[in-house]
Amino acid sequence: QKEVEQNSGPLSVPEGAIASLNCTYSDRGSQSFFWYRQYSGKSPELIMFIYSNGDKEDGRFTAQLNKASQYVSLLIRDSQPSDSATYLCAVVRTGRRALTFGSGTRLQVQP
């Protein structure tokens, strides 16, 4: 089982819809969870982080964490074509002083 698992996609949604991106992790003791966005040919940039169970909202983005089920998700409301990118989930695993990244989900927002 991969340490951080994401569906590679592409996930295709129409403009204005809600995009739902999911990530599961294997280490039950993982503490911190991050979502990064990476446009083609660019570097990853942080969208948001979440530490506690539940939802965290920031503008059109909502991160959801469920530690019991070991998944974290990212919802993008009112998706725009400019949201088309690869979304990377990253986790701080127990005793590890670094982030472990998933392989990313490619999102395509159709105009």
Partner 1 sequence: DTAVSQTPKYLVTQMGNDKSIKCEQNLGHDTMYWYKQDSKKFLKIMFSYNNKELIINETVPNRFSPKSPDKAHLNLHINSLELGDSAVYFCASSQDPTGTQYFGPGTRLTVL
Please say which residue, 38 or 70, places its beta carbon nearer to partner 1: 38
Name which position in 31, 53, 80, 110 contacts partner 1 (CB under 8 A): 31
Please say which residue, 47 or 76, places its beta carbon nearer to partner 1: 47
Residue 98 CA from chain centroid, whole number: 17
Supply 101's token pair.
């990244």
**Between β-strands 71-76 and 105-110, what pairing exists: parallel, antiparallel or unpaired?**
unpaired
46-105 residues near partner 1, rule: CB under 8 A: 46, 49, 86, 88, 90, 92, 97-101, 103-104
Rounded Cα distance between 14 and 12, Å, is: 7
Please say which residue, 28 or 42, places its beta carbon nearer to partner 1: 42
11 binds partner 1 (CB under 8 A): no
Sign of CA pseudo-dihedral 51, 57, 58, 60: positive
Name which position in 42, 55, 57, 81 contacts partner 1 (CB under 8 A): 42
